Structure 1
Amino acid sequence: MTSLDELPLRDDLRGLTPYGAPQAPLPVALNVNENTHPVPEAVVGEILDDVALALSEVNRYPDREFTELREALADYLGHGLTADQVWAGNGSNEVLQHIMQAFAGPGRTVFGFAPTYSMYPLIAQGTGAQWVAGTREDDYSITPESAAEQVAAADPDVVLLCSPNNPTGTPLGLDVIEAVYAAARGVVVVDEAYHEFAPKDAVSALSLLPGSPRLAISRTMSKAFAFAGARVGYLAADPAFIDALRLVRLPYHLSALTQAAATAALRNAGTMLQMVDEIVEQRDRISATLEALGYRPHPSWSNFVLFGGVDDPKALWRALYDRGVLIRDVGIPGHLRVSAGTESETTAFLEALASIGSAS
């Protein structure tokens, strides 16, 4: 059998490993920050109706500009946005890839504050760009002064800001985003994949878009909308920024079925998002119980909790695995991360953890 080393692979890809979150058939899977609640039954029927209608014309290419979906996304986001300020792709990773293809690429750099979303360096390197990692405070926060200083020193072509941050759940103040934008020469992307799980009075970076043509705000339907399997991500930016993404996207990149399903889900946003409050309740329950067991949960504005005080992360991960619970070792020494699931899934995790014993 031919090995990868024997193929004429790009030199800059040699030695890299693909994204590899475990997919194991365990009763309780809380490792990849999915929304483990099913799509509400009432909405399922409406989505099926719209997908069935799209199927009747599936012999034709879909709307290349996915106009109806962009209008629905603009309406959902508010802030006076219009369809020409919105873009979408097959998950927010493809949206980020479009940005890298348009503004990064060979000979250019992409900057982010580590630890952060593990796909950022992979997408950057996949498009031929160099990933540059900045640093955070000990509690994983970032100050405006430090952020501006680091960005000015790195002088990157693309800055990626995860807010709230994955894998730590740390919120990011608008003052940090403003400081980074002022210090940056290139484009600044704020990844708000988990924004719906933040406090209801948290202000989105969407409020910073007016007068900021190099700024883009990325979102996803995978989390709050329980649409991970549908693969729908999107962003809001200046219309000129959107025009740049058209230069690199593949023709008809969003299928007619994807467009139909996402548009139907957005029509029912109020129903779809009712589960968010329960997820936040379970997240806070996890944090409180972890603390009671002697662990150190980090404050989270997302649908997951990063917790420290773990003497041997690999051993604890395995012990939970053996009890039918899958969580995530994100590679931060002394830490593990768990997604907030349903009430029963959360109970299963907490009971399994308690059965192993408290933190030392």
Structure 2
Amino acid sequence: MDELKKGIDVIRDDLRSVKAYAVQPSAGLIKLDTMENPFRLPEALQQALGQRLGHVAINRYPAERTVELAAALAKAAGMPAGCAITLGNGSDELITMLSMAISKPGACVMAPLPGFVMYEISARYQGLKFVGVDLRPDFELDEPAMLAAIAEHQPALIYLSYPNNPTANLWDAEVIERIVAAAPGLVVMDEAYQPFAERDSMDLLRRHSNVLVMRTMSKFGLAGVRIGYLIGRAELIGEIDKLRPPFNIGVLNAEAGLFALEHADVYARQAQVLRAERDQLIADLDEIEEVQAFPSQGNMVLVRVPDAAAMFDGIKRRGVLVKNVSALHPLLHNCLRLTVGTPEENMVLLTAFTESLPT
């Protein structure tokens, strides 16, 4: 038998049958497809960070500085009493850890759809059942459908993205409250876009011991550093933390995270600019009769266009990369997701967008 075939044959059939998570090539394009903070640090802070990283003992495994980063993140987030925090290599690793933590025979993961694709991918890679519950056409939670699905499937884990990706909206707090009350297991409030939203889930966490809050420093402005964190009751986090790989946050990443938190005011000003740019982008899109821009509480705008594929290609030909999400779910028919960029990038985006409209 061919040696390569022998190697491939031992790979799980379900893994071989799926495609890997795709990242669009972006060289030479204005990159507005993955909800990154478009601002770099000011020159003086870049130099200060470089000098600081140069003094890090990269010959040693991560230790105390990772603990200090976790404490700093807990303080910045306003972690409630009785809770603890664990870190992940981005939110993706935390999602994997959560899937592993509840991976019992017959266990089920549930999330509204359309939503972040990694919830389902991670669940299926752990051999778990995934149940998606469609949102309403206005992208609000379908409360009767969610409660019925909870009663039928008894999910061990429910994800509620807040704001949601890719629809960018915050769901009704009272509906979330009732879903949490009905949940037989964990409810994870995924707050990846919290820096741009008008409210968060910390009060929900204080009142419900089965709630976990998951956040990331990626949208804060450190997408390349890959730091996610999960907050919940100390007893729960203690169990989930057992699945965290040793030294999963590198010393350079931890130091960069600590540096960013020490200069949180810089990132707060960047977020303020992006919120204003988001609102202006929506207002400008609302002036275009052929499109529908949906309300946003993230650093992205979902917009329905006459022909998503043609618009995507036209915008890309004009030097701007956005995300065509129209094939992800029927509710997203002819929808593009636009990341909010700098004022200059958004002007180029609007020009490319309008020039790509069908004539």
Residues 102-158 of structure 1: per-residue CA shift (max 9 Å, x gap): 123664211000000122111212222222101111101015454333322221111
Shift of 1:72: 0.3
Is 1:104–1:158's contact at 8 Å kept on the other side of the alignment? no
Is 2:65–2:254's contact at 8 Å kept on the other side of the alignment? no
Return the alpha-carbon distance in structure 2 between the equivalents of residues 350 and 233 of structure 1: 32
Which residue identity lines up with residue 67 of structure 2 in the other structure? T
Return the alpha-carbon distance in structure 2 between the equivalents of residues 230 and 277 of structure 1: 22
- In structure 1, the partner of 2:225 is 230
Return the alpha-carbon distance in structure 2 between the equivalents of residues 256 and 209 of structure 1: 30
Which residue identity lines up with residue 72 of structure 1 in the other structure? A
- In structure 2, the partner of 1:281 is 276
Which residue identity lines up with residue 201 of structure 2 in the other structure? A
- In structure 2, the partner of 1:25 is 27
1:38 equivalent in alignment to 2:43: no
Number of aligned residue pairs: 351
Return the alpha-carbon distance in structure 2 between the equivalents of residues 120 and 302 of structure 1: 19
- In structure 2, the partner of 1:318 is 313
SS of aligned partner of 1:140: coil
1:102 equivalent in alignment to 2:96: no
Return the alpha-carbon distance in structure 2 between the equivalents of residues 336 and 253 of structure 1: 34
Shift of 1:291: 1.7
SS of aligned partner of 2:341: coil
Which of 7, 25, 36 is 2:9 aligned to? 7
- In structure 2, the partner of 1:344 is 344
Shift of 1:326: 0.6
Residues 8-40 of structure 1: per-residue CA shift (max 9 Å, x gap): 221332321111131221331101111111123
- In structure 2, the partner of 1:207 is 203
SS of aligned partner of 1:348: helix
- In structure 2, the partner of 1:75 is 75
Shift of 1:311: 2.5
Is 1:79–1:207's contact at 8 Å kept on the other side of the alignment? no
Shift of 1:298: 0.8
- In structure 1, the partner of 2:53 is 51
SS of aligned partner of 1:293: coil
Residues 43 and 238 (structure 1), Cα distance of their counterparts in 2 relative to 1, 3 Å cut? farther
Moved more, 39-48 or 289-298: 39-48
Shift of 1:160: 0.5
Identity percentage of aligned residues: 30
Is 1:26–1:326's contact at 8 Å kept on the other side of the alignment? no
Return the alpha-carbon distance in structure 2 between the equivalents of residues 29 and 90 of structure 1: 23
- In structure 2, the partner of 1:116 is 115
Which residue identity lines up with residue 215 of structure 1 in the other structure? V
RMSD of equivalent CA atoms: 2.2
Shift of 1:184: 1.1
Return the alpha-carbon distance in structure 2 between the equivalents of residues 135 and 292 of structure 1: 29
Which residue identity lines up with residue 187 of structure 1 in the other structure? L
- In structure 2, the partner of 1:63 is 63
Residues 191 and 287 (structure 1), Cα distance of their counterparts in 2 relative to 1, 3 Å cut? same
SS of aligned partner of 2:261: helix
Residues 3 and 306 (structure 1), Cα distance of their counterparts in 2 relative to 1, 3 Å cut? farther
Is 2:134–2:142's contact at 8 Å kept on the other side of the alignment? no
Moved more, 336-345 or 179-188: 179-188
Moved more, 293-302 or 118-127: 118-127
Shift of 1:78: 1.3
Moved more, 226-235 or 250-259: 250-259
The runs of 4+ residues in structure 1 deviating greater than 6 Å are: none
Shift of 1:3: 7.6
Return the alpha-carbon distance in structure 1 between the equivalents of residues 18 and 292 of structure 2: 32
SS of aligned partner of 2:98: helix
Residues 237-275 of structure 1: per-residue CA shift (max 9 Å, x gap): 111111112221211111111111111111111122211
Residues 357 and 209 (structure 1), Cα distance of their counterparts in 2 relative to 1, 3 Å cut? closer
Superposition pairs of residues 167-206 of structure 1, within 5 angstroms? 167-199=166-198, 202=199, 204-206=200-202
Which residue identity lines up with residue 312 of structure 1 in the other structure? D
- In structure 1, the partner of 2:335 is 335
1:299 equivalent in alignment to 2:292: no
Return the alpha-carbon distance in structure 2 between the equivalents of residues 206 and 144 of structure 1: 22
Return the alpha-carbon distance in structure 2 between the equivalents of residues 81 and 32 of structure 1: 34
Moved more, 264-273 or 37-46: 37-46
SS of aligned partner of 2:243: coil
Shift of 1:212: 2.5
Which of 252, 255, 264 is 2:259 aligned to? 264
Shift of 1:6: 4.6
Unaligned runs of 5+ in 2: none
SS of aligned partner of 2:131: strand
Task: Please report the TM-score for the alignment, with normalisation by the length of structure 1.
Answer: 0.91
Shift of 1:49: 3.7
SS of aligned partner of 1:66: helix
SS of aligned partner of 2:206: coil
